[in-house]
Structure 1
């Protein structure tokens, strides 16, 4: 092991110059924004990517407080954090990536991913912030969400189109009953002979109202299934949510003489879900299962609900032949 040797001053100066040049080169070729500040929050370095992100030239911001690239509501928090860190040494964001907001010189606020590192030099502590513009990712996520919503909507329309005839038949039942109840009341009222007691008229009208509400419920469920909307999650008992989907699917199953069996537990199975989206998924699963089961000898489809740890499982099985060995391999 050799002992370190003293270098001539000109060599030390040359090395320092080379190191500084390397740092400047790395700084300005980095794809992400890099900003270096001191303990007072003053900007010491501001690379080319930061210039593009915030609209400032480095010479304009060197020596200024880093708050110049922060929305006002975050600037106070930054000052408090720096002050707390200097007093206590407590680290809250150093070494941890998190999402923050930056502010362009024109006032535009935009999302950033910030990672902070720390370096100690003869001049004191310095903080290195690496900034990544999250707008492209946010735009991609939004577009992906929109495309997924379109796919779900088109799938929903396809499923509802297939159920149209069966739903019309189901809707016809309460409407026919409603018409018969109203006819039963209208005949004696037209005769005006007082042969029907008012209490009986009220009882018949209550039955007619119940059938009208039943028809309205069918129409409302269909409208919700077809309607294109944003997800609305809430606490729901999956048994009730799945039951409605099974009722809708049963219309199609009856036409193909396929029995749908329900295997639920006695305890509520509560989950934070969008009931309409869950019902759409269940309807699609049941539709596919009914198509396969209708060609089997037993002709049954079963939907089961179970809980596994912190998850709820919806399982659809059928009496169909299953996948071939070749299909299973692919």
Structure 2
């Protein structure tokens, strides 16, 4: 029987190991409990939620909150819009990122140093909110779906990660061999670079997808029409307007009931809105650590 390594550790190592496990366990609990509470509250009776009866598990389970969510036309419209922005925006992000990252990864590209500096400059300095708004307005993108997609077509940080991956992972010999076979640079990008870049593309899909799904500030700036609002903006309205005005309701029991349903709708909406990202994450989890480590490698 293999003996435990812990038994042969020094006193200092044992103390550090135990303290490390305790600390990480506390962090895990602190992160996990709010998630469990939100899910439990979304399935609980409204009165149990506002009275504080929900601690860990659902109390008097009910689906009232989820029924209210899917009966709300604004939430359904927000879901549809968010999926449109998610898929269209992420696809554009990946295309733009690859088209920028690949040329900058080629050592024979003489302008890559200047262009890399040009891109990095935008990470530290930008035109500002007002000039950007004026530009979007002049381009005729206000109150259009394109306003949620085009202005954030690429992240410089993600482009640098992708460029570093291509430089460190795909050998130059493949490019030389493709040149001998008469392969054009664009054909090489499509047939060689992109298939070999599936891990980093999966990571970027997660990065861009989460960013697109959670984006509400862009909609607040550029969209005024309710039919174009994403789910996050509608959720924000629900969270802000979740408090019941007691001056407009004379009956105390009615106030309690309205507040309970309001809180239940809030928790149910949070759970429903979080599902797409939670379902996406397991598919790219194995690539996530690799992608983060790539970003730490100097290119």
**Category of TM-score, reference length = shorter chain:** under 0.3
Larger fraction in helix: 2
Larger fraction in strand: 1
